[in-house]
Structure 1
């Protein structure tokens, strides 16, 4: 009996496999990655004519002709390298060749050439975004501005196609490419693109290297759209990325908007969904992403509502053109790369506007470790020049905190700032103190005049330093081998008794001996986050009266214990400053 059942099952499996193979070959035209023009015609409701077959359109890569794939609503199912945002993994000689290109461009050019310039992406929006309806006729028109220098053609073209394919044609006025004096011939490459693409694209070329700010200004001067959206040249916009940005601007023309930035891996081009975070900066004016705390998440009424952010993160943003011009556009004396987004952000907030992240707008961005190009005078010199302009024009007396955090910026030439100072006066902008109090209060608590101690927190007995261990919010922190300049060991004690690491505070949720400590969002109410320490020695939790301790030299866990004379309770910060509370 068992043998008969086995025979019956085996026959069924063979029959099913045979039928599947026949079905696949019979319907292979609907699955082949090379038949993408066919997909376009089906989406447009057209049939392919004999004339089309005899006169194929110019191809823009080995697989795709010039027609757009109609990806506005959602991407169609396709197969091929990188489709649906999947990673492309290389091996052997191909990987070695790719590694060579990594050193040139700081991302994988070989993989970029393999991936279709019109590849599909997974929809990374929150499901509630799909329930939001927009009246396109009520939204303003847009010009997308993409400035670049020596960009890999496949990456630039993928950026262009993603905008064309996923933007409502009635809203997309134009795409302006600003070539910042590249070495390669972009004109000839653009000529090879289909007419349908060229009809939406303008090319502006500078006559010398200008840098990001000046190049973007060149594009803005040529723009016809009511709204300007600035993108980098190695992006891929996602499904319905544009409508939420325009809707937010339409509601308040003084609002500058930014999408949520998804990550495109620089080696594999894998497209990965990012969590929603704010862009913030430290006193050295470096910008970083700050994930929403549990308190932030609890306060949000909806996961799709716009989120206020102190600064623009990666320079990808949208702004009403008239408002942009009224508040002074971008600083035309910024050089090279860096600082231009921070300068605009401070000006927007301090001069009557606001900045919001729009959760239903998603844009993927290839994050490179550092720019793959140089700039006349050097990238670092132009970066310090730009930051100096930001500090001198906008930070008032708090510029001392910038120079204390970035000493190499002191005594650097930052150019003539009289025009920007006059602009600030003309716009009747708020002081930087107002910005700290109303927009970014967590930074105010870490100003130099608010600190008791800062730097590495060293335990001499264990010869270890307090370390976040990259644990993140609400995870136990501990100790590790001390390192010079490690961000994960840069703690500070404030006048209010908080022990802070960036925007998080050392928190004790359970007052029982042996309990571990975590980093939580700073709530400013003392209690679980208030400590006593103003000189080398014990770090005492004020409310419980217990001491910070190392649980064991092997476990390297940070705990709270009843205070005693144990050497593992003795801590010393790298720097101390005496303060007196008024």
Structure 2
């Protein structure tokens, strides 16, 4: 299969009225929703198209129905529901990537119709979040190779003892080997290069301070520029990622180039409060770099000051984040992928 270019560029070229009428082959539809595997429930148009463009090439296909067809492609006819080991119909992105890896392709057929008949009783209980995570982790463990950590990061759960029993995947791994499927790296390079790569992550998860038990580092208001301390809840606003480059980023992952990425914590040396900025917008790159070790301080490489917590009647919950002369406060982060080399 020849190497693909930008999906967004290909999409706008491919979705011409003539091609819509006769059907077309386009990698974006198979790859575009893969972010569902990373961050279930986020919203983005297929292949980076605007909402208008996406509506202009309707397929009449619902994701669960497509997923069932894809599972058949992978040698799983008769599976219920959809795929062995999955408790709900899988996110089409996770299985769609597998189709590409195993020599198939995803196609947009605008005149096709796929029916999806709802069951009167669902085969899972009301906690769909648990089963969505379970499916995502199964797909990650079987198909994503060294990139599987991205799924755990997106859900903000540990890679060891994640609290989700995703079952035995040995048969799925054997199927992949039997079909001689390509690597996930090949998929990223040839089908969906727009996906962001976070393989330089050393550690991720909730970050707590020794002086503020029960409170976690939080991105605060989504459109704001101030990190805060907030009661720990483990959701994506409290996802902190520390990279081998020394970046300390807060908030949900921007899993594709079509979504905003998490912001960098910055000490510009001008005030006592750290700011959050788009990493590429930081004037001096060293202002966004930090040194961090487990149960140790978080130190700005630009100023030598420490990220610390101070008591304040004016702050939410009486706690304020500041950068100041180091006083010995310690920070703990939940999950380590690999330890930094010093």
Structure 2 CA distance for partners of 1:352 and 1:573, relative to 1, 3 Å: same
* Alignment equivalent of 2:276, drawn from 497, 514, 518: 518
Query: Contact 1:349–1:355 at 8 Å: present in 2 too?
Result: yes
- RMSD in angstroms over aligned alpha carbons? 5.1
User: 1:404-462, CA deviations, whole angstroms, 9 ceiling, x for partnerless residues?
Assistant: 3635335x24584378426752xx53x1244567453334234xxx33xx433222334
User: 1:347-368, CA deviations, whole angstroms, 9 ceiling, x for partnerless residues?
Assistant: 3564689999xxxxxxxxxxxx
Structure 2 counterpart SS, 1:444 = coil
The CA distance in 1 between the partners of 2:125 and 2:41, in whole Å, is 26
Structure 1 counterpart SS, 2:73 = coil
User: 1:40-67, CA deviations, whole angstroms, 9 ceiling, x for partnerless residues?
Assistant: xxxxxxxxxxxxxxxxxxxxxxxxxxxx
Unaligned runs of 5+ in 2: 1-12, 55-61, 108-118, 153-158, 254-261
Q: Deviation of residue 478 (structure 1)?
A: 0.5
Unaligned runs of 5+ in 1: 1-131, 142-225, 227-249, 260-277, 293-299, 307-313, 357-370
Question: Equivalences for 1:411-430 in 2 at 5 Å?
Answer: 412-414=167-169, 416-417=171-172, 420-421=175-176, 424-425=179-180, 429=182
1:579 aligned residue: 339
TM-score by length of 1: 0.37
Query: Contact 2:66–2:92 at 8 Å: present in 1 too?
Result: no
Structure 2 counterpart SS, 1:573 = strand
Query: Contact 2:264–2:276 at 8 Å: present in 1 too?
Result: yes
Query: Contact 1:530–1:543 at 8 Å: present in 2 too?
Result: yes
Bigger RCO of structures 1 and 2 (CA < 8 A, at least 6 apart): 2
The CA distance in 2 between the partners of 1:343 and 1:280, in whole Å, is 8
Matched, 1:457 2:210: no
Matched, 1:499 2:248: yes
Structure 1 counterpart SS, 2:229 = strand
Structure 2 counterpart SS, 1:458 = strand
The CA distance in 1 between the partners of 2:279 and 2:104, in whole Å, is 26
User: 1:76-102, CA deviations, whole angstroms, 9 ceiling, x for partnerless residues?
Assistant: xxxxxxxxxxxxxxxxxxxxxxxxxxx
1:287 aligned residue: 40
Structure 1 counterpart SS, 2:160 = helix
The CA distance in 2 between the partners of 1:405 and 1:414, in whole Å, is 16
Q: Deviation of residue 551 (structure 1)?
A: 5.5
Query: Contact 1:527–1:543 at 8 Å: present in 2 too?
Result: yes
1:256 aligned residue: 29
1:337 aligned residue: 88
Structure 2 counterpart SS, 1:492 = strand
Question: Equivalences for 1:99-248 in 2 at 5 Å?
Answer: 136=17, 139-140=20-21, 226=23
Query: Contact 1:549–1:559 at 8 Å: present in 2 too?
Result: yes
* Alignment equivalent of 1:489, drawn from 233, 238, 242: 238
Query: Contact 1:456–1:489 at 8 Å: present in 2 too?
Result: yes
